[in-house]
Amino acid sequence: MKNITHILILIGFLSISVKAQQNDPLTSVQVIANPKNGEITLRWAPASSRVWTRGNRNGYLIERYTILRDGKRLTQPEARTITQLPVKPEPLENWQDIVEDNRYGAIAAQALYGETFQVTGNYGDDIMQVVAKAKEQEQRFSFALLAADLSPDVARRSGLMWVDKDVSTNEKYLYKVWVDQSAKNDLDSGFVFVGLDDEQELPAPKEFSVQFSDQQALLTWNRKFYEQTYVGYLVEKSTDEGKSFISITGTDPIINTERPDGTFSRMMFKLDSLADNETIVTYRVKGITPFGETGPPSEEVAGNGKVLLSTIPVIDTARVIDNRKVQLEWHYHGARPDEVKSFSIERSDRANAPYRSLAVDLPASANTFTDGQPLSTGYYRIVAKGATEEAVAYSFPQLVQLIDSIPPAAPSGLTGMVDSLGIVSLSWKPNTEEDLRGYRIFRTNFGGQEYGQITVNPVMTTHYTDTINVRTLTSTIYYKIIAVDHHHNPSSFSEPVRLMRPDILPPVSPTITGIKLIDEGVQLEWTNSSSADVQNHLLYRRSAQDDNWRLMAVFPASVSDPAESYTDADITDRNVYEYTLIAVDDVQLESEPVDPVRITVNNFGNLPAVDRLFGKVDRENRQIRISWLFDDPAVEKFMVYRQAEGEKFRLYETLDPAAREFQDRNVRLNTLYQYMVKVAFRNGAHSSFSRSISLRY
Digit-coded pLDDT (tens) for 68-83 = 999 899 989 999 998 8
CB neighbour burial string for 307-322, b if at least 16 within 10 angstroms, e if fewer: bebbebbebeebeeee
Task: Confirm whether 308 is domain-assigned.
Answer: no
Residues 44 and 189 in one domain: yes
CATH value at residue 345: 2.60.40.10
Which of 500, 533, 551 terminates a domain? The answer is 500
Residues 229 and 140 in one domain: no
Residues 524 and 494 in one domain: no
Task: Confirm whether 608 is domain-assigned.
Answer: no
Per-residue model confidence (pLDDT) at position 685: 72
Residues 50 and 168 in one domain: yes
- Strands ordered across the beta sheet of 497-500: 452-453, 436-444, 476-485, 497-500
Residues 248 and 298 in one domain: yes
The answer for 37, left when phi > 0, alpha when psi is -120 to 50, beta otherwise, is: left
Task: Confirm whether 220 is domain-assigned.
Answer: yes
Residues in the chain with pLDDT values less than 50 = 1-24, 117-131, 183
Residues 447 and 582 in one domain: no
Task: Confirm whether 459 is domain-assigned.
Answer: yes
Which of 141, 171, 198 terminates a domain? The answer is 198
Task: Confirm whether 607 is domain-assigned.
Answer: no
Residues 461 and 368 in one domain: no
Residues 396 and 531 in one domain: no
Task: Confirm whether 606 is domain-assigned.
Answer: no
Task: Confirm whether 506 is domain-assigned.
Answer: no
Give 592-630 pLDDT, tens digit per residue: 999 999 888 765 656 788 888 999 999 999 999 999 999
Domain that holds residue 188: 4-198
Per-residue model confidence (pLDDT) at position 136: 77
Residues 441 and 583 in one domain: no
**256 Cβ contact list (under 8 Å, min separation 6):** 223, 227, 230, 231, 232, 264, 268
Whether 211 and 274 have beta carbons less than 8 Å apart is answered as: no
Per-residue model confidence (pLDDT) at position 255: 81
Per-residue model confidence (pLDDT) at position 15: 28
Per-residue model confidence (pLDDT) at position 486: 79
Tell me how far apart the terminal alpha carbons of the chain are, to the nearest angstrom: 123
Domain count, the chain: 6
Residues 274 and 352 in one domain: no
Which stretch of DSSP H or E encloses residue 676?
strand 672-681
Residues 217 and 144 in one domain: no
Which of 401, 430, 462 terminates a domain? The answer is 401
Task: Confirm whether 407 is domain-assigned.
Answer: no
C-alpha distances out from residue 490 to 118, 424, 438, 471, Å: 81, 24, 10, 34
Residues 26 and 147 in one domain: yes
